Amino acid sequence: MTTALTPTAPASAGAIAVSGRRRLFGPGAKLLLGGTAVLVLAVVSMFVGVSDVSLSALLSGDERAWDIFWISRVPRTLSIILAGMALSVAGLIMQLMARNKFVEPSTVGTVESASLGILVVTVFLPGASLFLKMSTATVFAVAGTALFLLVLRRIPLRNTLIVPLVGIMLGGVIAAVTTFFAYRFDLLQTLNSWMVGDFSGVLRGRYELLWIVGALTLIGFLAADRFTVAGMGQEFTTNLGLNYNRVMTLGLIIVSLISAVVVVSVGSVPFLGLIVPNLVSLMIGDNVRRAIPWVAVFGAGFVLACDIIGRTIRYPYEIPVGVIVSAIGSALFLYLLLRKRSARA
């Protein structure tokens, strides 16, 4: 009897060791590792730039270096993190609302509608406050996103590629109208500043609105289960006792407000809300509550990395982060589309 039990002892020890390693490198530990990587990128971002802000200058008490650090570098890094987290989570919510993994605010007309709203305020109220611009942009973004969802309901066949195509076409129409009126009122240069994400102009006192999108990201996490259920359809949601229209309205407001605040503050950062949720889905699956923290961390890290690349690739000149994200994002978007198509074949 003793002989029969002896071989199982090493197996049990091995199982305990494997279990211990799984607990050590579990989801929480991996997320903490991801957060640490974002923190490292944030520290690097604070010391990259044309102005001489080095650790030695700060430690020596250089007043000019400390002024640049607190007035420019810290606000810029915080705004990148907040915008990256919020836009990525907004993209995930948009995908659940549209029930399609290839949509995000910049491919369904939300960002273009927000830009149209800012243009309307600029034309009729040139001296309007930032808050008024944000409010108007939010109203236009809600209207544009609601129009996309309404058009989507009219489409009998929801092919994987048809849905983003409809959104891109709708966004193109709105962008054309916006460009026409911008040209008519000699505001094309101003319009371009909203359509290309650029954090170089972020200073203390000009980024604080982005804390709103941080709060909206938290609300999106708390309502993750509701968005998951709503993404399964109106009938399924109603059978579970949830108000489908209320959940969709909440998602609509979160996505539109995030898009409006980011466009008003730093401009458009396209493809971010599309590629980040898809990459996270490939890594950890489609559990939305589990995915949202990863989407937020990955989005912040991705934008930080793109911003650092934009500041160093043509030093001392700077390439807007929206250009870097667009270049990398469009390539990843095509990869995801081709991957989906080959998987279906």
Give me the half-sphere count of Cα atoms (radius 13 Å) on the Cβ side of residue 100. 23
Tell me, yes or no, whether 211 lies in a domain: yes
122-to-132, 202, 315 alpha-carbon distances in Å: 10, 20, 34
**Residue 197 and residue 176: Cα distance in Å, rounded?**
19
> How much is the pLDDT for 68?
87
Helix, strand, coil % over all residues of the chain, rounded to 5: 75, 0, 25
Q: How many domains does the chain have?
A: 1
Contact 319, 313 (CB under 8 A): yes
Please give the structure tokens belonging to residue 215.
């709060």
Tell me, yes or no, whether 18 lies in a domain: no
> From the CB of residue 22, how many other CB atoms can be counted at a distance below 10 Å?
10
Tell me, yes or no, whether 13 lies in a domain: no
Respond yes or no on whether the N-terminal peptide bond of residue 316 is cis (omega within 30° of 0).
yes
Entry pTM: 0.85
* Domain of 274, in residue numbers: 33-344
**Residue 143 and residue 141: Cα distance in Å, rounded?**
5
> How much is the pLDDT for 238?
87
Tell me, yes or no, whether 328 lies in a domain: yes
> How much is the pLDDT for 342?
60
Taking alpha carbons only, the member of 225, 236, 248 closest to residue 153 is 248
pLDDT in tens, the chain (345 residues): 444 444 444 445 554 544 445 555 566 788 899 889 999 999 998 888 777 787 887 888 778 888 888 988 999 999 999 999 999 999 999 888 888 888 888 888 889 999 999 999 999 988 888 888 888 999 999 999 889 888 888 877 667 778 888 888 998 999 999 999 999 888 888 888 778 888 888 888 778 888 999 999 999 888 888 888 887 878 888 888 888 888 888 988 999 999 989 988 888 888 888 889 988 888 887 778 888 999 999 999 999 999 999 988 888 788 888 889 888 888 887 777 777 656 555
**Residue 245 and residue 184: Cα distance in Å, rounded?**
39
**Residue 253 and residue 216: Cα distance in Å, rounded?**
9
> Which CATH number fits the domain that encloses residue 211?
1.10.3470.10
Tell me, yes or no, whether 317 lies in a domain: yes
Which value, to the nearest 10 degrees, does the dihedral of the CA atoms of residues 231, 251, 181, 201 take? -120
Tell me, yes or no, whether 6 lies in a domain: no
Tell me, yes or no, whether 22 lies in a domain: no
Tell me, yes or no, whether 25 lies in a domain: no
